[in-house]
Structure 1
């Protein structure tokens, strides 16, 4: 008899307790897909019993399985179908299973719009477009007025500081499904430049910045139609703080007004698209949100008694969570459940499987919202948390390594999640790490990178052949994977394996420019020069371009309380602080330079070509 994994009870409960709403916390490799397929099979089994009693199936036709990709949905559907068919169910169960929905959140929203979109005045057929650039250009050319969501006075003040092009770019790049609920607040009464002007720090850049600030104030008090905001070129922390304080109220007011106008632009553009029978993926979410806001349509949707299983919950944003939770609540429920905490999703109507530790692709706000939904679901009468901690992907040595390293990284502090230790499956082997020293052989000292890679590939292939499958603990070569840091090396390795009569497949055929440091590093540097506050991008540059270790980055962030930014000078003599100051100096120096000059200077100072 095979031993059971340590979390077997949690897995069995998730599959069998169909009248509970579970939030499953499951790390990568813990068998989430198999667990969801097992729950679906149990749902089908319950419907089969109803059919045998002469009753119609009631769960499978209402099942909604939402995955992150269509490929994942296909795999989930196939696994569930296989488990269901193994039990040889009645044909009615097969027919009911074919009515279940498997797909992405956008596909499900498209289904809702097809059924209920007429309540919003939408046409019966809508074409989804991925690239709407030409449509956007037509909209911009045909739009006569922008800023009607503001009072005439605030509209005039906003356009005095912000170019129309910037507002259009904000509306184009940032999804805002609904109008932000900011008041039409009055323009700041006064801009006090005195604290920045009286700053005692010395230096040519500080002196020039003071002169620029004085001229800006004079321009503000003049009758000039356009007074754009200015940024300091000095990296001095104290001066930067005073500069920021000078513009704080104005920046907040501009941000509120700009977001309001951006939302207005998006609403107009959405209507422009609908009139032409076209929607984007963001539109599908936005219109679905309007459906759940409408009392009549949400009642009709809830009457269908949907049963939602959400996979990869950590990749779900707040609006998508709203759609999936609201449709599973009682018909008469009012308000947003996440706000009111009343009338939660019905028993067994909403389950989600995700991993807080994998919340790396969205924003911190999305992670916090996911945690909020998790807590609310667990606190409800029919809700409960389950944890899958047994991983099927790693051997014991790898699991021990992960459990040793990650608790100091995922500490639960500063908005980070807490690490959940992994467990090994009872049948998992210890595993091993072997270092293969590659000899230079007959290669000349000035051998090219390709020559070296070809020689390494030949030695690696010979070693793999000599080691043989038994020592790899593999039954066939398709259980052996070779990972390469460069895509172009894969062909060399495949040729070397073929010479040793070992068949192989390359699973990375697409040549992405982003895979090359010549493109990726250059793009990353340009990004932080335009977004000097973007800590995520800056950390990437420090690691990839400058080769700073994770240990040094973690020490700077946690022990020294450092902030990854290049707007101002960073105090400290460590390698992270020095590199940040180098980047800050580049940012300040190229701020007012022509694009080509700025880019050339950036590449020169960072020694990008040499790197």
Structure 2
């Protein structure tokens, strides 16, 4: 099997040498000293290109050791980051590169822009006065309500008169809600003039017509509003125009324009003020949003000295999915890659661009479907600026490794007319075929017109779903050219349209899995139920939540609950024993007993006990898998989250609050957990692919407008605030054009997901209105309705699906998936949990030597310096919470950069580059002088380091012993091959007097004994061990006997 896989990979590499865009791909991979902006079409293998570029870095030993730890690979989701990191690691392992390269790769950053910004805030956040602990929140209702209640006055930046007038037009609560929307960056306007007067003479001069009989009513309403506005101090909200007559409404808008523009500017000013105050309030309460993370990182980079320190890290950025990146995120990534001498913001001054080889991005204008149109325009402008200023070069990947020939031709023919680079729409990039491309097929499934046209739209949609499901069943996997049901997907632009498809497929006994019905965390029962249970464990008198638990989790009927309460909601409590009989009483007492067991348990045990006593796992197993997916797996993720929270020393109340605050967090699309047809929205389908994709409801109206609430923020350079529909009238056409263009790009995404078969369900007769097919439909966006440019292309498609032996043969020769990739497909009922339990004894428990180190001199819940260094970056707290630990981390980071084999002059240069980042510069200079004196002494470090053949800093080790392992990182290790001697050193930054140095020896004897024993077993050499006290400039050397004795004591605990 391994040889077959190698041959297949070799053949694919051979094919790659003959593809149309080979030159561009090779440049991206091999020209590491250049910046690139890559336009990568659908299925063009951009992930492979990025991983190949990283592999090229890793192939050169010295370059790999320097560049890999500086690597910042940013993707749109955590799942994509994990996959890319795993693929790259696999390539490095297959290349047989040395362990030191693998270790350097392990220090590269793979993740989202938000995770990287938190990394910056963890190190430099104290410069902004950020609190020690910051928790990311998505549901901030409680925080917002508390903030609102504490606001005595808003709009102070307007001045008293303008503020008074504005609050006659709008309620304070409306103004504050505007500011709560963090998708808009409100700017404080220059000094605002007084409220302008409006001229309504043209409105009064308008004449009533037969088509506009409500004009007199509108005039009467206007006069009444003017009387109130001019003659009183009453609240006078915007008057509604009583007629829709085009000429009159135009006069109405023009008359109100000065007042509305003034009010919009004032409201924006207030919103900016409230936004700023609310962010400060959140931070003071230890809460931070995703928008905050990026904004605060941007603020750091606007501090010149902090920007220099960050740029000194020499970060090398590779940005994936650049089209989904907003301007603030681009700012962070561009600024960190500039020279330490750079000043200003590059996009403004256009001097000192990102350093060569330090910034590359890969994206596709055609797949921009998530962001505001202004963000797409910013990305296009950034791409153009990078190219024109020669800060980067443009490359295009046009060869698709996903689509077969039929789909490729179809997309090229259809979208050349749609993505036409006109009126703000993006330009279509023609796709090119890969070598040995399969034939593929596009199938036109005609639903016909034999139905009752008087039926409601939802009923007609149900009929379409039933006919489509029957056709899928009759056609079968072979003709769909799909390996299994999991490789068939049905894509819709609206989440609500998936329900009828699911019901119809189940009627045909076809397994189905809905990927888009639980967009938010709270919409999944596992998350909602556990959160509610923990909430009432924390607050036993939360009667509203307790009733919800009884109804939703325990399934107690409303009738039972009402008969128990008898109108007294306070009876729902679990603080005291409830007397009486019945299912409600029994359940309340069960919850009370559960609560009484929790106070003395660690967090993870408390959560696990809650799950056990409420039988939550068993209850979740009863839920329909086709609707909620693997609910038990979702619960296991929450238990893992509880374990991680315990590692951060959070309490049960902390964890419950975190779950509550993340109710509205968007869930990432998960890989299919069962062999079932995937139902998913087109938005969520981005980044995925299937053997067969089916697109129904082409002529069904999508109704993009939805329910609009005013005041409404209309994005722009300075957001404009619409107070009612009339404010949008002048922008209506532009807004509809923007919506249409986004849906056109969404269709490009949807129709480029299929490898072998694309099915289009044609239902024009099902949903045709009196004037034909409605405008907000996929058929119209495709320009494929009757007499439209692409209608003939659709008409010429075959109406039958056929099997393909060539495709089936290709399926049989595919490289088998890794076992790990298939584990998620196993159902719970197969018994894999039981197997895992039986094998649990073979899991190795990891012990780190830092566990033996004493508590830091400042008591805190955060990790010590040693623990911080040995923790995985993802598990580290967002901030180091006291100066002593920040100093310790700085010293270790600085010492790691010293090349001990070079001249001492180089060491001083390294110190000078890093000293500005120190939390205590004076202390750093004093302790560096002490270290220099010690090195130069006769028995100092210089003698040991000079005799060494190999010196390693931050050297990781992993030593297995019985069913445990010892894992850690040694600060400094030197190896002498002639004498078979190893010297290991640990830096200690404790503040300690010189005459108390023996105290330091005692404190760290256990930790150093663990290091000594591990290195002794791994090298079989003579191992010497010491700690260096930076505060005293003394080297404390441990004897072999005392370490041996200490190890015997420690190992007894294992």
- Residue 295 in structure 1 maps to residue 304 in structure 2: yes
Q: Measured at CA, do residues 358 and 438 of structure 1 come closer, stay the same or move farther in structure 2, by a change above 3 Å?
A: closer
Name the stretch that deviates more: 480-489 or 525-534. 525-534
Asked if the contact 1:70/1:104 (under 8 Å) is kept, the reply is yes
1:569 matched residue in structure 2: none
Q: Secondary structure at the match of 2:490?
A: coil
Which is higher, the Rg of structure 1 or of structure 2? 2
Change (3 A) 1:143 1:36: same
Alignment coverage as a number of residue pairs: 527
Look up the match of 2:235: 226
Which residue number in structure 1 is paired with residue 476 of structure 2?
A: 464
Aligned mates of 1:371, 1:459 — CA distance in 2: 43
Tell whether the 8 Å contact from 2:72 to 2:109 is kept in structure 1 after alignment. yes
Change (3 A) 1:233 1:535: farther
Pairwise mapping of residues 150-189 of structure 1 onto structure 2 (< 5 A)? 150-176=158-184, 180-189=187-196
TM-superposed CA distance for 1:365, in Å, is: 0.9
| TM-aligned CA deviation for residue 79 of structure 1 | 1.2
Is the contact between residue 243 and residue 249 of structure 2 (CA under 8 Å) also seen in structure 1? yes
How far is the alpha carbon of 1:109 from its aligned partner? Answer: 0.8
Alpha-carbon offset, residue 308 of structure 1: 0.8
* Pick aligned residue for 2:368 from 352, 359, 364: 359
Q: Which residue is equivalent to 2:126?
A: 118
Structure 2 counterpart of 1:504: 675
Indicate conservation of the 8 Å contact 1:438/1:459, yes or no: no
1:74-94 deviation digits (Å, cap 9, x = unpaired): 111111111111111111111
Whole-angstrom distance in 2 between the partners of 1:438 and 1:83: 48
Task: Map 1:48-447 onto structure 2 (within 5 A).
Answer: 48-50=61-63, 57-176=65-184, 180-202=187-209, 203-434=212-443
Shift of 1:128: 1.1
Cα distance between partner residues in 1 of 2:217 and 2:349: 53
CA contact (8 A) 2:176 2:271 kept: yes
Structure 1 residue 523, shift from structure 2 partner: 9.3
Q: Residue in 2 aligned with 1:8?
A: 22
Contact 1:25 1:356 in 2 (8 A): yes
Shift in Å, 1:458: 5.9
Question: 2 CA distance for matches of 1:207 and 1:407?
Answer: 51
- Is contact 2:214-2:242 (8 Å) kept? yes
- 1:261 offset after TM fit, Å? 0.9
- Report how far residue 69 of structure 1 moved: 0.7
Deviation at residue 186 of structure 1 after TM alignment: 0.6
Cα distance in 1 for residues equivalent to 2:739 and 2:334: 36
Whole-angstrom distance in 2 between the partners of 1:536 and 1:132: 33
Decide which of 46, 57, 81 is 1:32's aligned counterpart.
46
Q: Aligned partners of 1:240 and 1:450: how far apart in 2?
A: 41
Tell me the equivalent position of 2:984. Answer: none
Deviation at 1:478, TM superposition (A): 6.7
The structure whose RCO (Cα within 8 Å, separation 6+) is larger is: 1
**Backbone CA RMSD of aligned residues:** 3.5
Q: Distance in 2 between matches of 1:109 and 1:388?
A: 29
- Matched residue SS, 2:423: coil
**Using a 3 Å threshold, how does the CA distance of structure 1 residues 303 and 535 change in structure 2: closer, same or farther?**
same
Shift of 1:506: 4.0
CA contact (8 A) 1:308 1:349 kept: yes
Name the structure 2 match of 1:598.
none
Which TM-score applies when normalising by structure 1? 0.78
Map of 1:548 onto structure 2: 774
Task: For 2:781 and 2:250, locate their aligned partners in 1 and report how far apart those are by CA, in whole Å.
Answer: 24
Secondary structure at the aligned position of 1:423 is classed as coil
CA distance in 1, matches of 2:184, 2:466: 51
CA 226–197 in structure 1, closer or farther in 2 if over 3 Å, else same: same
**Partner-residue secondary structure (3-state), 2:318:** strand
1:191 match: secondary structure: coil
Q: Which residue of 1 aligns with 2:55?
A: 41
Question: Residues 134 and 377 from structure 1, CA distance in 2 versus in 1: closer, same or farther, beyond 3 angstroms?
Answer: same
1:59 alignment partner, SS class? helix
Report how far residue 432 of structure 1 moved: 2.4
Q: CA deviation digits over 1:326-384, x for unaligned, max 9?
A: 11111121221111111110001111111111223222211111011101111233410
Contact 2:486/2:677 (<8 A) preserved: no
Distance (whole Å) between structure 2 residues aligned to residue 160 and residue 381 of structure 1:
53
In the aligned structure 2, how far is the partner of 1:280 from the partner of 1:405?
A: 41
CA contact under 8 A between 2:326 and 2:375: conserved in structure 1? yes
Q: Tell me by how many angstroms 1:505 deviates.
A: 2.5
Task: State the 1:30 CA deviation.
Answer: 1.1
Distance across 2 between alignment mates of 1:137 and 1:494: 48
Q: Report if the CA contact (8 A) 1:364-1:415 is conserved.
A: no
1:33–1:76 Cα contact (<8 Å) kept:
yes
537 and 134 in structure 1: CA distance in 2 versus 1, 3 angstrom threshold: farther
Report the CA distance shift for 1:174/1:239 in structure 2 as closer, same or farther (over 3 A): farther
Residue 484 of structure 2 is matched in structure 1 by 477
Question: What residue in structure 2 maps to residue 535 of structure 1?
Answer: 736
Instruction: Give the match's secondary structure for 2:244.
Output: coil
For the Cα contact (< 8 Å) 1:21–1:377, is it kept in 2? Answer: no
Q: Structure 1 residues 290, 205: CA separation in 2 closer, same or farther (over 3 Å shift)?
A: same
Contact 1:147 1:155 in 2 (8 A): yes
C-alpha offsets along residues 213-264 of structure 1, whole Å, 9 cap, x if unaligned? Answer: 2222222211223221123232222222211111112111111111111111
Residue 50 of structure 1 deviates from its aligned partner by: 4.0
Residue of structure 2 in register with 1:526 after alignment: 707
Q: Distance in 1 between matches of 2:201 and 2:462?
A: 61
- TM-superposed deviation, 1:318: 0.9
C-alpha displacement at 1:11, in angstroms?
0.9
Distance 1:302 1:528, change over 3 A: same
CA distance in structure 2 between the aligned counterparts of 1:252 and 1:62, rounded to whole angstroms: 48
SS at match of 1:487: helix
Counterpart contact for 2:447–2:464, Cα < 8 Å = no
Gaps of at least 5 residues in structure 2 are 1-13, 449-454, 492-497, 513-673, 682-695, 711-723, 744-763, 788-1054
